[in-house]
Amino acid sequence: MIKVPDRAVDLLLYSVSAAFALITALTSTLMPHRAWGAVAAWGYLAAALLVYAVRRRDLLTWGAWAAVALLPLVVQSVQRAGGRTDRAQEEVLVVEHMGESLLHTGTPYLGRAEIAAIPLDERLLGYRPYQPGMSVFGLPRALMGDHWWTDARIWFAIITVAAVGAAVALLRSSQNPSLVRATQAATVLPVTALTLATGGDDIPVLALCLLALALSATGRPGWSGVAVGAAAACKLFALPVVAVLVVLAVATGTWRRLLPGALGLPLLALVPPLLADADALVENVLRFPLGHGLVTSPAQSPFPGYLISQSLPGGRYVAMGLLVTAAAVIGLWLLRRPPRTAATAALFCGYGLLAAILLMPTTRFGYLLYPAALLLWAPALAALATARPSARTAGPDVRTPDPGVNP
């Protein structure tokens, strides 16, 4: 097989991304996306021009991330603080409202009656379909007022930079040829950079999941549980990663260290809203995503699950049946051939989330950032295990050949 030079792939990545950002700036119907594209196009173009000039590809990746994600984020946050109302996606407002509600009522959620009292054209913003931990990112604005640095996206970015930076530092301890590509997947891919700059709530969740896998790969199951547990306390999308890491921990005998954080943090986050108003929690986290709220979710990307739910009689139930079937098949495979390395766990997570995103009746194109990053993270984890066998997840079966490399 012909191997394409890494820098040639980098040049293609940054060039195509520059074209995507420019098209977004000129044609997107979403103003935050247009604003992102107008700034990011120049960052991607600069990165493309510097591919062969900068000796270290990892430094170029971090510099490109600053130019195509962090800079547009700060620009939009400053403009929003200055009065622009079209410089943040709705999820930013939802997260900040969660922080306000948590601060004043003890729960980040509104009850069904409170949502019904909101004018119909604004009712969608009354729903907060995230786990309670997400409200933490809205607390700075609730506590300190409307400033650019209290924008929820700034705090999404802080956690993301810390988590991705820590994960890369853990995996950098050996010559890891896959690490730059894995870092690019988590930072400069347009679907990732655009999401962080304009909405952002998925990015810290993804970053914490990647950190959890890196911690697992380097023999730190306790901290891995804390990282993935924090992700699951913010968004349900992290729960499949929790499940796979739990199976990995059971297979390698490290579950006693992983479970307190991986399961304890999400459960602990549920306690305040359950005590304050359990029905409000159910309304926001379960009824609304399942299509039983007072309004329907606008997440309607044309993937198979959505198309089936819209075009067939009883299509929503057909799509849900396919989703449950896929989950059962992957779950059975996971139990019969459990992963014994973090790399294989990342593959299970990536393919499982890809199947879920494609089959969910309500989904978004941007959710593809999860499987894209997880699947590209797997080779970096595998390279570390090859270079440093002692860094694999500790456990009695660590030297056993992994039968589940290709789930």
Per-residue pLDDT tens digits for 287-319: 888 778 898 877 677 888 878 888 888 887 888
What is the residue range of 64's domain?
A: 1-87
| 195 shares its domain with 343 | yes
Residues 164 and 83 in one domain: no
CA distances from 148 to 47, 87, 198, 199 (A): 27, 11, 14, 14
Q: Considering only CA atoms, which of 33, 366, 86 is closest in space to residue 202?
A: 366
Q: What span, in angstroms and rounded, lies between the C-alpha atoms of 197 and 358? A: 24
* Closest C-alpha among 357, 369, 371 to residue 192: 369
41 falls in which pLDDT band (50, 70, 90)?
A: very high
Q: Are 110 and 126 in contact (CB under 8 A)?
A: yes
Single-letter amino acid, residue 263: L
Choose the final residue of a domain: 65, 87, 109: 87
Handedness of CA 194, 197, 202, 207 (dihedral sign): positive
> Are 243 and 346 members of one domain?
yes
- Each residue's pLDDT tens digit, 269-282: 999 999 999 999 99
Q: Is the pLDDT of residue 4 over 60?
A: yes
Structural domain contains residue 141: no
For 45-61, the pLDDT digits (tens) are 999 999 999 999 999 99
Average pLDDT of the residues in 326-339: 92
Q: Residue 400: is its pLDDT beyond 60? A: no
> 243-266 pLDDT, tens per residue?
999 999 999 999 999 999 999 999
Name the domain boundary from 87, 116, 139.
Answer: 87
Q: What is the reported pLDDT for 175?
A: 62
The kind and range of the H/E element at 39 are: helix 31-49
Residue 238 has pLDDT above 60, yes or no: yes
Residues composing the chain = 407
Provide the pLDDT for residue 200. Answer: 86
Mean pLDDT of 158-186: 90
**Is the pLDDT score of 68 beyond 70?**
yes
Q: For the chain, how many structural domains are there in total?
A: 2
306 within some domain: yes
**Range from 114-123, 143-152, 293-302 that averages highest in pLDDT:** 143-152
Lowest mean pLDDT among 160-169, 285-294, 374-383: 285-294
Query: Same domain, yes or no, for 203 and 328?
Result: yes
In a domain, 29, yes or no: yes
CA–CA dist 194, 196 (Å, integer): 6
Query: Is 80 in the same domain as 172?
Result: no
Checking if the pLDDT of 404 tops 50, the result is no
In the listed set 32, 66, 87, which residue is the last one of a domain according to the structure? 87
Question: Could you tell me the sign of the dihedral formed by the alpha carbons of 399, 401, 402, 403, in that order?
Answer: negative
Model pLDDT, residue 308 = 87
Is 237 contained in some domain?
yes
